[in-house]
């Protein structure tokens, strides 16, 4: 049983510092494969990743709106999530969103909960269990959202709170800041009303800047020490409940960062793309991708391959899939190919994290109706190969179909590049592939699909294994 406290947030002044921003970068090939699932035994509506047990491996916290409870999942040494504990919330509200942030600045992340009725609850760690501490701001009766970012640059994330206007006040966007405080404390600085908030480092100067979206988009540049300069105010084309800021239109090999803004309408269909500039301002929006982005939610931008522009990951509830719009298009056109992965109906929350700490991002998706948390591992970067050169000796001869047949029917060899075995490039390996190779060698069959006769990555999207960590030897 936990005791319930009330905390009135006091005013304080914050100091300056440095921050980091931009979309997270991985080092994979941009594709995923389902690894395992966890039966949670109940429906959970929101999740966040945190390091709970100080072992250096990411863990997870989830909240159930139906049960009004938390569930904690800790990772094994291999990065596999396992249920470790549950906690029943005592405070009389129905909580549906969770955010992990170091509230008391002790180096451990704490749990902040948001309820349907606009209440905000801080789960203060105790030797055993928690103290449930309601957070309040004078004049604010309803919190609508939260966002974590290090605005004051002291190395701790600050808590950005959006609120709903009321008769006695509210409607402003507030910040609980860390610099100079023993815990997150209300800053006297307020910002315009917003439905959603995003942050990035516009000028690559180490200070994190603000994008506030309500009836208008307000862009505020952080000059340091939370001294903000208004850069631009533009009207929104339609109401939105999700925005992202990142580089989606240009690869920018010169290293310059031009943050574009993605605004997702309430309908869940399509996206408005506002082209960015080096100065941080945005141009006129273009509505697009409504045939691909359908009943979407849980949008995330990440650079899955560690180069080029950002990829977009999201849930498509119409197809019961999570989808990835890949950053393999041309400059000036956001995204290119679309990858899709089956998930359970009523999947409502998604997070991106390198759970197994191998340098590639993984995806966790939870369904409220089945109670299953599914984890998809990111695939490692692809190795170069030459199609048909199965044994990677730099030539194609009888040894290659022999090795292929042996792997198919005698002893599967996980060190082979499966793309090299896929002689018709149809995304699967079966008996037809060594037959095609034998036909090429002895019956004048046609050349194999590229890459053939040279070493290169596969230009065809498929799910055959040919990672740099798996394949034995190098492509001659």
At residue 469 the predicted structure's pLDDT band, cuts being 50, 70 and 90, is confident
Please state, in angstroms and rounded to a whole number, the distance separating the CA atoms of residues 166 and 170.
Answer: 6
pLDDT at 253: 58
pLDDT at 462: 76
Q: What is the mean pLDDT of residues 158-179?
A: 86
Q: Give yes or no for residue 53 having a pLDDT over 90.
A: no
Q: Give yes or no for residue 410 having a pLDDT over 50.
A: yes
Q: Give yes or no for residue 15 having a pLDDT over 70.
A: no
Q: What is the mean pLDDT of residues 328-337?
A: 84
Contact between 324 and 33 (Cβ < 8 Å): no
Tens digit of each residue's pLDDT (9 = 90 or more) over 90-107: 999 999 999 999 999 998
- Of 6 and 315, the one with more pLDDT: 315
Q: Give yes or no for residue 30 having a pLDDT over 50.
A: yes
pLDDT at 16: 27
Q: Give yes or no for residue 18 having a pLDDT over 50.
A: no
Q: What percent of the chain has pLDDT over 70?
A: 94
Q: Give yes or no for residue 21 having a pLDDT over 50.
A: no
Please state, in angstroms and rounded to a whole number, the distance separating the CA atoms of residues 438 and 453.
Answer: 16
pLDDT at 252: 65
Q: What is the mean pLDDT of residues 150-174?
A: 87
- Average pLDDT of the chain is 89
Per-residue H/E/C for the chain? CCCECCEECCECCCCCCECCCCCCECCCCCCEEEEEEEECCCCCCEEEEECCCCCCCCEEEEEECCCCEEEEEEECCCCCEEEEEEEECCCCCCEEEEEEECCCCCCCCEEEEEECCCCEEEEEECCCCEEEEEEECCCCCCEEEEEEECCCCECCCEEEEEECCECCECCCEEEEECCCCCCCEEEEEEECCCCEEEEECCCCCCCCEEEEECCEEEEEEECCCCCEEEEEEEECCCCEEEEEEECCCCCCCCCCCCCEEEEEECCCCCEEEECECCCCCECCCEEECCCCCCCEEEEEEEECCCCCCCEEEEEECCCCEEEEECCCCCCCCCCCCEEEEECCCCEEEEEEECCCCCCCCEEEEEECCCCEEEEEEECCCECCECCCCCCCCCCCCCHHHHHHHHHHHCCCCCCCCHHHHCCCCCCCCCCHHHHHHHHHHHCCCCCCCCCCCCCECCCCCCCCCCECCCCCCCCC
* Tokens 């549950």 -> residue: 86
Q: Give yes or no for residue 115 having a pLDDT over 50.
A: yes
At residue 168 the predicted structure's pLDDT band, cuts being 50, 70 and 90, is low
pLDDT at 12: 30
- Residue 226: CB partners within 8 Å, gap ≥ 6? 14, 16, 151, 152, 175, 177, 187, 189
Q: What is the mean pLDDT of residues 207-220?
A: 95
């Amino acid at each position: 049983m936990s005791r319930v406290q009330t905390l009135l947030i006091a005013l304080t002044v914050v100091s300056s510092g440095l921050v980091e921003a931009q979309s997270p970068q991985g080092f994979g090939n941009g594709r995923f494969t389902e690894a395992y699932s966890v039966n949670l035994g109940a429906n959970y509506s929101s999740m966040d990743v945190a390091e709970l047990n100080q072992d250096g491996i990411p863990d997870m916290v989830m909240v159930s709106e139906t049960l009004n409870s938390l569930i904690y999942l800790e990772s094994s040494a291999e990065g596999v999530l396992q249920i470790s504990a549950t906690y029943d919330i005592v405070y009389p509200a129905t909580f549906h969103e969770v955010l992990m942030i170091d509230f008391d600045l002790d180096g451990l992340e704490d749990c902040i909960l948001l309820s349907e009725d606009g209440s905000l609850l801080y789960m203060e760690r105790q030797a055993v269990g928690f103290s449930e501490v309601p957070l309040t701001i004078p004049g604010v009766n309803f919190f609508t959202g939260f966002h974590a970012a290090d605005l004051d640059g002291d190395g701790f994330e600050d808590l950005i709170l959006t609120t709903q206007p009321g008769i006695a006040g509210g409607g402003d966007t507030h910040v609980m800041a860390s610099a100079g405080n023993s815990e997150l404390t209300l800053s006297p600085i307020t910002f315009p009303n917003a439905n959603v908030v995003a942050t990035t480092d516009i000028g690559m100067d180490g200070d994190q800047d603000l994008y506030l979206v309500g009836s208008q988009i307000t862009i505020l540049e952080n000059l340091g020490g939370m001294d903000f300069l208004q850069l631009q105010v533009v009207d929104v084309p339609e109401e939105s409940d999700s925005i992202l800021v990142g580089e989606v239109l240009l690869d920018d090999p010169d290293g310059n960062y031009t943050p574009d803004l993605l605004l997702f309408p309430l309908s869940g269909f399509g996206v408005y793309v506002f082209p960015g500039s080096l100065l941080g301002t945005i141009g006129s929006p273009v509505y697009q991708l409504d045939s691909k982005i359908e009943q979407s939610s849980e949008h995330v931008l990440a650079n899955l391959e560690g180069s080029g522009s950002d990829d977009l990951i999201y849930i498509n509830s119409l197809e019961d899939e999570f989808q990835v719009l890949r950053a393999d298009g041309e400059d000036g056109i956001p995204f290119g190919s679309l990858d899709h992965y089956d998930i359970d109906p009523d999947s409502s929350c998604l997070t991106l994290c390198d759970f197994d700490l191998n340098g590639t991002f993984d995806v966790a998706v939870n369904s409220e109706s089945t109670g299953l948390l599914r984890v998809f591992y990111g695939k490692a970067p692809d190795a170069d190969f030459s199609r048909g050169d199965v044994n990677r000796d730099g030539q194609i001869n009888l040894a290659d179909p022999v090795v292929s047949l042996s792997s198919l029917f005698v002893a599967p060899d996980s060190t082979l590049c499966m793309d090299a075995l896929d002689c018709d490039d149809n995304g699967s390996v079966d008996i037809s592939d060594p037959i095609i190779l034998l036909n090429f060698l002895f019956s004048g069959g046609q050349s194999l699909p590229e890459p053939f006769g040279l070493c290169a990555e596969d230009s065809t999207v498929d799910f055959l294994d040919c990672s740099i960590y798996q394949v034995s030897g190098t492509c001659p």
